[in-house]
Amino acid sequence: MALSKKEISILIEIIFSILFTLIFLPYFYRNQDTSFVFSELIGKVSEIIIFSAVYFSIAYSILELSYKSKITEDERSNMINSKSYKLGYLLYEFSLFIFIGTLINYSIFNNGAIIFLVISLLLIVSVIKSIYQFYLHRTF
Amino acid sequence: MELKNNLKELRNKKNFTQDDLGKNVGVSRQTIISIERYRYKPSLELAMKIARELNVKIEKLFYFT
């Protein structure tokens, strides 16, 4: 199966997302029942935000240098992007409902479970969006 | 009524590769492949650029079946 540069870059993006999640998910999976104190929770969230900013800056810089600079963005790729981002937007909205519903039903605020849930939802949405984008590039 | 095209034949006549034509009209090779396979319907602007590049009238390049 011959893949275009754009398709390879989408696959790399999926791998980056999964790697990022694998770094943080196990910690929160182990601490699902832990009630973090608010300052500790803020600390952990800040750590994730800083780490993710650094991680994705490095990851996307590598991707940009190795692949994206050679990829021609045209009307077809813009259309595929808009379709996949539309799906991503709908999935994020759906995830928000799941998130709020879980908060109401299980009262897990302050627990490791809340971060585990957020990271899991973000990963699922991001991966589904990228897979759909990949599928459109293959078939459209 | 379906929109089809003679892009592959006309491109071959001009001895353009998919990559050459894509570069000349500012799109990727994959976009040219998609148009040739009738998967992607180009915008009017792109269709006119391709017709101009191949030196044919747009109605000779794209037609309805």
State residue A29's pLDDT score. Answer: 78
Give CA–CA dist A12/B12, Å, rounded. 35
Query: Burial level of A129, CB count in 10 A (0-12/13-18/19+)?
Result: buried
Decide if A74 and B40 are in contact by the 8 Å CB cutoff.
Answer: no
Distance of CA A61 to the CA centre of its chain: 17
State residue A112's pLDDT score. Answer: 73
Closest in B22, B27, B34 to A140, CB measured: B34
* pLDDT > 80? residue B21: yes
Q: Is the pTM of this model over 0.90?
A: no
Nearest chain A alpha carbon to B28: A72
Residue A77 touches partner B, C-beta closer than 8 Å: yes
Ordered domains of chain B (ranges, CATH): 3-64 (1.10.260.40)
Residue A139 touches partner B, C-beta closer than 8 Å: yes
Q: What is the DSSP letter of B65?
A: -
Which two tokens mark A36? 């973090």
> Residue A126: which domain range?
5-139
What is the helix (H) or strand (E) element at residue B47, kind and residue range? helix B44-54
State residue A68's pLDDT score. Answer: 62
CB neighbourhood size of A95 (10 A): 17
User: Taking residues B2-15, what's their average pLDDT?
Assistant: 96
Contacts 24+ apart (CB under 8 A), A51-54: A51/A23, A51/A24, A52/A20
Q: Can you give the pLDDT of all 140 residues of chain A as single tens digits?
A: 788 888 888 998 898 888 888 887 887 777 777 776 767 777 777 877 888 788 878 877 877 777 666 778 899 999 999 999 999 999 999 999 998 888 888 766 666 777 788 888 988 999 999 999 999 999 98
φ/ψ bin of B15: left (φ > 0), alpha (ψ from -120 to 50), beta (otherwise): left
Closest in B22, B29, B43 to A75, CB measured: B43
User: What pLDDT digit, counting tens, does each position of B35-60 carry?
Assistant: 999 999 999 999 999 999 999 999 99
Domain total in chain A: 1
What is the helix (H) or strand (E) element at residue A56, kind and residue range? helix A38-66
φ/ψ bin of A87: left (φ > 0), alpha (ψ from -120 to 50), beta (otherwise): alpha
Interface mutation vs chain A, best among B18, B25, B30, B38, most A CBs within 10 Å: B30
State residue B52's pLDDT score. Answer: 97
For A69, the 3-state DSSP assignment is helix
Which two tokens mark A118? 């957020």
ipTM for this model: 0.89
Which two tokens mark A73? 């963005």
Closest in A6, A72, A140 to B40, CB measured: A140
φ/ψ bin of A35: left (φ > 0), alpha (ψ from -120 to 50), beta (otherwise): beta
Decide if A75 and B22 are in contact by the 8 Å CB cutoff.
Answer: no
Residue B25, min C-alpha distance to chain A (Å): 10
Decide if A74 and B42 are in contact by the 8 Å CB cutoff.
Answer: no
State residue A19's pLDDT score. Answer: 85
Residue B16 touches partner A, C-beta closer than 8 Å: no
